[in-house]
Amino acid sequence: MARLFDLLPDVSFFAKDRHGRFVALNRLGCEFCGVATEADALGKTDRDFFGQRRAAEYARDDAAVIRSGRPIVNRIESAPEREGSPRLVMTTKVPLCDRAGRVVGIAGVTRRLEQVRERPGTVAPLARVIARMHARPDEDRSSREWARIAGMSLSHFDRVFRRMLQTSPRQYFLRVRVEAACRRLAESHDTIAVIALACGFHDHAHFTRSFRRIMGLTPSAYRVAHQSPRPAARRRR
């Protein structure tokens, strides 16, 4: 049955055992993991392919499904790509049971949000807000302003946002800003102060604390670990 998902090029299918090890992966799943074939991923976990924070989030959700036996349906989350990607995906995870009814793993499907044509009623407004957050991490907006953009009351917006993304709008936007900073730290040679300001942090200390809490290391350490070295200057003749 897993091979059927190869006929759906916009759907990533995956299955894992109780320890988070991949036991099945279709073509788009391989693309997300950055491997050429399913065999390259079998027996490995999310930590072999994704950043520490993102892999921990996936493992947490897997464990919740295995522990409770209840599926996660249509969860909106960041695409399994490099930090700072503005793309979003919609993920569903269900428990896999043996013949005795014991949960032995999970199976799931993920679709890029822009490819989900028939979206539930609240998804499109949230997608609009999240796209704006990723496009303009430097903006200073309150939850009330985000609710207005979504066309919802503040209480309804906050409730729907927390249910679908498992965090508050404020915390999600903070993570968007940090991930935008990750991308600039890796891809530019701007100073950390310039990057902090461009990503909406007007206080350097606040930027460093937030970055370290979310990414597990300082902005300087992240840059050293992820930035390509400058090309060597050509010797003058």
Q: In CATH, what number is assigned to the domain containing residue 85?
A: 3.30.450.20
> For residue 43, how many C-alpha atoms fall within 13 Å in the half-sphere facing its CB?
2
Question: pTM for this one?
Answer: 0.67
Question: Of the candidates 119, 110, 80, 116, which has an alpha carbon nearest to the alpha carbon of residue 5?
Answer: 110
Which pLDDT tens digit goes with each residue over 90-136? Answer: 899 999 999 999 999 999 999 877 654 445 567 778 888 888 898 89
Q: Are residues 14 and 104 in the same domain?
A: yes
Which pLDDT tens digit goes with each residue over 136-164? Answer: 999 999 999 999 999 999 999 999 888 87
The arithmetic mean of pLDDT across residues 29-41, rounded, is: 93
Q: What is the DSSP secondary structure assignment for residue 145, as one 8-state letter?
A: H
Q: Are residues 158 and 87 in the same domain?
A: no
* Structural domains of the chain, count: 2
Q: Report yes or no on 234 lying in a domain.
A: no
CATH number at residue 162: 1.10.10.60
Q: Are residues 59 and 153 in the same domain?
A: no
Q: Are residues 107 and 132 in the same domain?
A: no
**Residue 113, SS3 per DSSP:** helix
Which of 114, 136, 160 terminates a domain? The answer is 114
Q: Are residues 31 and 14 in the same domain?
A: yes
Q: Are residues 91 and 185 in the same domain?
A: no
Q: Are residues 31 and 83 in the same domain?
A: yes
Q: Percentage of residues in the chain with pLDDT exceeding 70?
A: 89
Helices (H) and strands (E) in the chain, counts: 9, 5
- CA gap 181, 200 in Å, rounded: 10
Q: Report yes or no on 5 lying in a domain.
A: no
**Domain of 84, in residue numbers:** 10-114
Please report the pLDDT score of residue 236 as a whole number.
43
